[in-house]
Amino acid sequence: MAKTSAKQAESSTDTNQVDISAPEIGTSATTNQQPGQDSDKVEISIEKKLVALFSLQQIDSQIDRIRIVRGELPLEVEDLEDEIAGLETRVDNYIQEVESVEKQLHDKQISIKDCQTLIKRYEEQQNNVRNNREYDALTKEIEFQSLEIQLAEKRIREFTAQLATSREEIEAAQNVLSDRRNDLDIKRNELSDIVTETELEEKSLIHKSEEQQHFIEERLLTAYKRIRKNARNGLAVVGVERDACGGCFSAIPPQRQLDIRLHKKIIVCEYCGRILVDKELADTVHI
């Protein structure tokens, strides 16, 4: 069983390393050579390549983190802008409502005056009536107008209460609105500060990344970029963590871990294709 898995690991190591390692570095043909200066040189060379790759990964991951942070901030600003727009609409609606109620209230005040004018006229007419029937008819008219006045006064009381409530709601909404506008100002300043700050940091990291890329041969760099592009977390070179790939967390067999530690060839994860480095090597990299 152990023999089979070791064999499998061996064979997949050979397959996986083909497209990544250049023939002149760390192929089994080279490592099978007699131990000597040449072989030592190869080993050092592979280790350096791994360190260079892992360093590049650390730099590029920092750039990724900066972009993620900067990507989230504009969304917070956008959310606030949406909330403010919503509050402004609500305040506008209240104001329109208040204007409409004020107009209705004013109409009722006018209609009360009209009724009072009519009552006065009917009362004057009652002084000049020719019979009781005419007098009674005018009395009925006066009663009707009085009822109209009472009704209008009732409506005015309702409108007044409604206006008071609406005005309170406007004030409350305007308070929230002014708080949100303050928040928005703060967030916008924060955003522009962070953008300025992180753009500088990003620029210097991009420069660092480009410089680091000079230490890596074309073929490896192409492989690195391809793996990084396809990986959701942008990781192309990962450490072995708790006997597993630091990229996809798949378990790595002991024999394969040993091969990784030997630095004789560049070994990729069987499952996700990321380049693997051992923890000891990873720990030597400080960006």
Q: Which residues here bind Zn ion, judged by CB under 5 A?
A: 245, 247-248, 269, 271-272
DSSP bridge pairs for 241: 244
State the Cα–Cα distance between residues 215 and 212, nearest whole angstrom. 6
Least CB distance to Zn ion at residue 16 (A): 11
**Strand locations in 179-282, DSSP E?**
237-241, 244-245, 275-277
Closest CA to 181 of 189, 237, 211: 189
Is the Cβ–Cβ distance between 270 and 12 less than 8 Å? yes
Least CB distance to Zn ion at residue 270 (A): 7
Which is nearer to Zn ion, 5 or 182 (by Cβ)?
A: 5
Phi, psi (5° rounding) for residue 277?
A: -125, 150
Which is nearer to Zn ion, 26 or 239 (by Cβ)?
A: 239
Which is nearer to Zn ion, 42 or 236 (by Cβ)?
A: 236
Least CB distance to Zn ion at residue 227 (A): 10
Least CB distance to Zn ion at residue 250 (A): 5
Which is nearer to Zn ion, 145 or 257 (by Cβ)?
A: 257
**Residue at token pair 């064999």:** 7
Quote the radius of gyration of the chain (alpha carbons, Å).
42
